[in-house]
Structure 1
């Protein structure tokens, strides 16, 4: 019984054909190794585990090559047991990674690659390795947050296409030992020319494809963090400003390593310019300000939070739901998923669009105040990934105008209209600016527009006095400043009118990278803005700083056709190596071309809006046309039937000759469109040495040019075709 089971197992695992092409095997191995290195680079496993996978795949592929003609029954049994073990481990890890299934899946495919590499006797096994490597490179692409993924995807496609070509070539050779390749074939040259033609075509397609905001990843990725403290103090830990918990008596010394606003206070006397450099990348379906903290108490020369305690947010699992009993009620909000990829060490504040609700962060507890500023137990170190689902405001100016007349809670009015002793000139200016405004929204917007239009942005503004009021210094003395000055002045002017306002700090949206689909946030994107309270709708952001958009409120950067911004990136890169005069000429030409493309794009966009429903029908029509063309091409290789006779013998030669054409096509010899049956038979005999094809063609012609049935000729034709099919199958 056991012998029969073993024999049956050996029978069902016998390869139909042992792959002999070493070039095909080497190309597949190179493709697999590229995908393995890519997933290791983007954090699927550590470099030590990745190196072990590479060594094992190479060893397994070598073993498979030298044992391809053996049954290897014992090896297959061992691999089957190991495969079951791998699946058991996979299901175990799956339970602890329900928020991002990619990591256990990619580990599974890495293990499959290793195990499968020890059993690659046939072409189908190598094809499976190619499919598995495509899954791995897709994972690497999903985790890539920069353009360096091109260094993996380009060689992967080049070598992958070479693998497919070599595999197809090997399959043609395997079908007949007499297959003779074309003498003037240059596959390397053809591959190079095809590659050069494909690159610009793919680039144009990539730029033309819409980036639809609805196509969001269902995964909520985050990384694990070790050495998490069991408790932590409720204040911000800024790596650039250590051991400072209260507002300083003297101006805070500037640190180029971190933004001074990421503290428990905001000192408006600080002067300095942050260096450029990416601090994090954000994947989000909508541009927002990545808020870190907010301040409610104005000191005259700075801001601080009046809250000394924060609510603990804890949970045994994910997500961590952020709430606070004193949080202002908000209506007309919608969910927004954001994933943050930290690239430079940042304070222990949770950067997110206001207001964070569900947090996927590698800790089991957080702290939050009533202004929805969230603290984490650890600083945000490079490599950290976390995801936040925020409830962002979705109001319109009309909605905010209608909120006038609603009652603001007394405690909120008192807290966010607090002001120190200061000159009455600020209040008079606020009244003058808003004298024609009838609603709180219009007053806030009038102040915002006034500051934007009358005060320039300047990072090199002179220093104010140690105890000088920042708003008075900005409005009546310096008359210029940076974002903290603009935000503070607007908040104070709103408070003089009885409009609750506060200052928030964080990062601006950053620059959208159309190649990766991420917002790249640099250190210079550190920013301060204003949040104004409206009954029913809660806190609404305003940005009075000149040159800054306000994605929180109304504008929304359309990234649907952002692929064309690649031209801008390419232009900047090429422009650096060109002479100044040539750059100016190209710039003028580019502007003219851009205007023309813009007009064309608007027309195309308008056409696409109403033509979009026709796309499925067009695709179906193209598919049907392709099927019709293929069938017509196949029929062109078959002879045309003669008029049918009463006894049906006029059809037998057509069927028989058609069988011969199909048999020859299976070994790579197809009949040309303008080729007669005799010409095709001579070429087939010359290529394969059968000596039967010309005779079959002659017998095919004979009944087509006679009125009388010739059964003997038809029988002989069918016998010859049977012989041709038998020889080709046994070759």
Structure 2
């Protein structure tokens, strides 16, 4: 029985013609290793996988090369068993990551590629490997969150072009009718030129392709789960700021590496400029603000939280289902995946109202403001995802709130400090003058927001507070410029002074979209403060009074832009120093061009781009055909003297040589005329060409003058053979 199974297995695995080209195998291996290393360098897989996959792939290629002429039935049997084992492991991993199947799928594909590398005897197997490398590098685009992927893609495309050329050369080498150039430098130069042509076509097409800022998310990535075996405190922990004591009784603190609003308090006397280091990369289906901390107690110097305690939420596996007030209206949902790029406080940032959280812990806390706390400080490479609800912000809707019978906000949301009574009265007088003509909360809020945006400049260079006045009064009536914290605080205090519940929120703005990765890059300097106003049963709604900032929902941020304009916007937000400023004029010119492209209707631009691509492809094919004909002509007449080539009586013979080259019977570089004539005669089944070449050879080397009889005989034989070939009566021997 086992012997019969072996026979069946052998029949199912017939011996294939081995591929002997070492250059072909090396170029395919380079492509595969580039694709594997591009993915493994992203850090999603452990050390064992990262080291073993490329090493085993290289070992497999070597073994396949050495055993390419063997049947390798034992190796194939072992590989079949390993494939089954890999499938079982994949299904087990898949069961634990149903919300993000990308990593298990790509891990499976990596190991399948490793196994396949041990069984590559034939050219067809190498083609499969190259296709799998293409699949791997494409999968890398889904996982990538940095621009290093572009380098991997460029290297892979170059190696793949070289492999494709080697495939063609290998096929030509097995055809008796082809001449194969073996100069490695010419091959390398040719591969580079082909790659350069592909890039020169692909890059312009990419630049005019529309790119949506609204990603279509189908996965919810999260880091490896960390078990928390005991309760943890709810307090905000920011290692960059000193804890303990009354923060308002000591000089204000500031760190360029962490926002001072990410504390249980926010001191409005603090001054400083945050760094531009990237702290978050966010894959989101929309531009959004990311809430961190909510402050509800104003003391004249800054803000505090009335209650830091949070409710414990436990889940043995993602997601955490968060409490939601079902009576409040919903404006749709949004999905955000956060990739932490720097050490942060124990704040879980999210959109407006989180409803589901995929976080790498089995225990979190949520405070009364809806803000989330992690059991540990967030560290670089932490990944989590959030599903959030979006507020309804249309004015026609909010003007109806709050309604009679709506639940009232707590008294802390309208409280103001008694110690600064005179300043508060002055603020109230200003606010009533702005809002007195409106009969609904929404228009009053807009009036205050508009006043602050249009009256005071946003300025990060203001000096320290020079008086003991209330911080908001100092901003409004003395400094009259400030940070986002001053604008948000002023709006909240002004609204409170006329009885409208308001609070201050700190977090991050949406950052800038990286057109190369499709992720929003949030920098330390994107830390921000804004206001939430209570509209009864419509809930808390955000407003941003800081000049130059708008709350999410601005349609201009969510439109489809051409990638060129996105690249210009992205690079324009980076300070490259003097060198970058030196090319700002060129950037402005490109910006105008991108703006023009954006104004062109997409259908028209697509038609133009398609036509240009088709024209370029046609020109390329025509050029290739012309070059091929010239190459065949050179090959056909190789070795003939200039006198013979210019002899008008030999036109028929030269035309015959070109026809023979066209059907695959070109003269090889190492062939003499006699050997070439013998090969043609064997292929055509006639000795006429040998007779013709004997005459040519005698004319070339004898030195005697040509007679009219020689010329007539050459012309007649050339014409006869040419007609026979044209009519197809002779076999050409073409493979």
Three-state SS of the structure 1 residue aligned to 2:390 is strand
Matched, 1:39 2:39: yes
Paired positions, count: 650
Matched, 1:680 2:680: no
Distance 1:242 1:574, change over 3 A: closer
**Which of 678, 681, 688 is the aligned partner of 1:691?**
681
Q: In structure 1, how many angstroms separate the alpha carbons of the residues matched to 2:574 and 2:234?
A: 46
1:594 is displaced (CA, Å) by 4.1
Q: In structure 1, how many angstroms separate the alpha carbons of the residues matched to 2:554 and 2:570?
A: 29
- Deviation by residue 1:17-67 (Cα, 9 ceiling, x = unmatched): 101110110011111111221121112322443122222221221111111
Aligned to 2:559: 558
The answer on whether the counterparts of 2:227 and 2:362 sit within 8 Å (CA) in structure 1 is no
1:303 is displaced (CA, Å) by 1.5
- Deviation by residue 1:429-451 (Cα, 9 ceiling, x = unmatched): 00112233332211111111111
Aligned to 2:691: none
- Deviation by residue 1:664-687 (Cα, 9 ceiling, x = unmatched): xxxxxxxxxxx9999635754455
Aligned to 2:598: 601
Aligned to 2:83: 83
Matched, 1:139 2:139: yes
1:279 is displaced (CA, Å) by 0.9
Three-state SS of the structure 1 residue aligned to 2:357 is strand
1:541 is displaced (CA, Å) by 1.1
Distance 1:246 1:338, change over 3 A: farther
Q: In structure 2, how many angstroms separate the alpha carbons of the residues matched to 1:114 and 1:497?
A: 70
The answer on whether the counterparts of 1:247 and 1:304 sit within 8 Å (CA) in structure 2 is no
The answer on whether the counterparts of 2:157 and 2:195 sit within 8 Å (CA) in structure 1 is no
The answer on whether the counterparts of 2:515 and 2:563 sit within 8 Å (CA) in structure 1 is yes
1:156 is displaced (CA, Å) by 0.6
Distance 1:406 1:29, change over 3 A: farther
Aligned to 1:661: none
Matches within 5 A, 1:2-21: 2-21=2-21
Aligned to 2:334: 336
1:107 is displaced (CA, Å) by 1.7
Distance 1:44 1:128, change over 3 A: farther
1:215 is displaced (CA, Å) by 5.0
Q: Which 10-residue stretch deviates more, 40-49 or 523-532? A: 40-49
Aligned to 1:514: 515
Three-state SS of the structure 1 residue aligned to 2:249 is coil
Give me the TM-score of the superposition, normalised by structure 1: 0.81
Matched, 1:393 2:394: no
Q: Which 10-residue stretch deviates more, 460-469 or 294-303? A: 460-469
The answer on whether the counterparts of 2:179 and 2:666 sit within 8 Å (CA) in structure 1 is no
The answer on whether the counterparts of 1:44 and 1:107 sit within 8 Å (CA) in structure 2 is no
The answer on whether the counterparts of 1:678 and 1:697 sit within 8 Å (CA) in structure 2 is no
Aligned to 2:303: 303
Give me the TM-score of the superposition, normalised by structure 2: 0.80
Distance 1:227 1:480, change over 3 A: same
Matched, 1:194 2:163: no
Q: Which 10-residue stretch deviates more, 269-278 or 212-221? A: 212-221
Aligned to 2:117: 117
Q: In structure 1, how many angstroms separate the alpha carbons of the residues matched to 2:160 and 2:242?
A: 52
Aligned to 1:360: 358
Three-state SS of the structure 1 residue aligned to 2:211 is coil
- Deviation by residue 1:242-263 (Cα, 9 ceiling, x = unmatched): 5448755324422333211112
Distance 1:505 1:245, change over 3 A: farther
Distance 1:114 1:516, change over 3 A: same
Q: Which 10-residue stretch deviates more, 513-522 or 566-575? A: 566-575
- Deviation by residue 1:519-542 (Cα, 9 ceiling, x = unmatched): 111111111100112234322211
Matches within 5 A, 1:250-649: 250-323=250-323, 329-403=327-401, 405-410=403-408, 412=409, 414-421=411-418, 422-423=421-422, 424-464=425-465, 468-551=469-552, 556-567=557-568, 583=583, 586-587=585-586, 591=588, 594-595=591-592, 597-605=594-602
The answer on whether the counterparts of 1:269 and 1:466 sit within 8 Å (CA) in structure 2 is no
Three-state SS of the structure 2 residue aligned to 1:333 is coil
Distance 1:233 1:78, change over 3 A: same
Aligned to 1:180: 179
The answer on whether the counterparts of 2:657 and 2:666 sit within 8 Å (CA) in structure 1 is no
Three-state SS of the structure 2 residue aligned to 1:9 is helix
Q: Which 10-residue stretch deviates more, 119-128 or 412-421? A: 412-421
- Deviation by residue 1:415-435 (Cα, 9 ceiling, x = unmatched): 321222233111000011223
1:142 is displaced (CA, Å) by 1.8
The answer on whether the counterparts of 1:515 and 1:563 sit within 8 Å (CA) in structure 2 is no
Distance 1:592 1:461, change over 3 A: closer
Matches within 5 A, 1:703-722: 721=731
Aligned to 2:636: none
Q: In structure 2, how many angstroms separate the alpha carbons of the residues matched to 1:231 and 1:127?
A: 56
The answer on whether the counterparts of 2:681 and 2:687 sit within 8 Å (CA) in structure 1 is no
1:356 is displaced (CA, Å) by 1.1
The answer on whether the counterparts of 1:458 and 1:481 sit within 8 Å (CA) in structure 2 is yes
Three-state SS of the structure 2 residue aligned to 1:524 is helix
Three-state SS of the structure 1 residue aligned to 2:517 is coil
The answer on whether the counterparts of 1:284 and 1:339 sit within 8 Å (CA) in structure 2 is yes
1:504 is displaced (CA, Å) by 0.3
1:314 is displaced (CA, Å) by 2.0
Aligned to 1:658: none
The answer on whether the counterparts of 2:252 and 2:269 sit within 8 Å (CA) in structure 1 is yes
Matches within 5 A, 1:23-172: 23-172=23-172
The answer on whether the counterparts of 2:492 and 2:531 sit within 8 Å (CA) in structure 1 is yes
Q: In structure 2, how many angstroms separate the alpha carbons of the residues matched to 1:478 and 1:574?
A: 29
Q: CA RMSD in A?
A: 3.6
Three-state SS of the structure 2 residue aligned to 1:219 is coil
Distance 1:470 1:329, change over 3 A: farther
Q: Which 10-residue stretch deviates more, 268-277 or 25-34? A: 268-277
Q: In structure 2, how many angstroms separate the alpha carbons of the residues matched to 1:74 and 1:152?
A: 35
Q: In structure 1, how many angstroms separate the alpha carbons of the residues matched to 2:227 and 2:320?
A: 19
> Unpaired segments of 5 or more residues in structure 1?
638-674, 699-712
The answer on whether the counterparts of 2:35 and 2:136 sit within 8 Å (CA) in structure 1 is yes
- Deviation by residue 1:170-224 (Cα, 9 ceiling, x = unmatched): 12333x2453236999443333233333323322222221223565131111111
The answer on whether the counterparts of 2:215 and 2:286 sit within 8 Å (CA) in structure 1 is no
Q: Which 10-residue stretch deviates more, 202-211 or 288-297? A: 202-211
The answer on whether the counterparts of 1:533 and 1:540 sit within 8 Å (CA) in structure 2 is yes
Distance 1:568 1:322, change over 3 A: closer
Q: Which 10-residue stretch deviates more, 353-362 or 214-223? A: 214-223
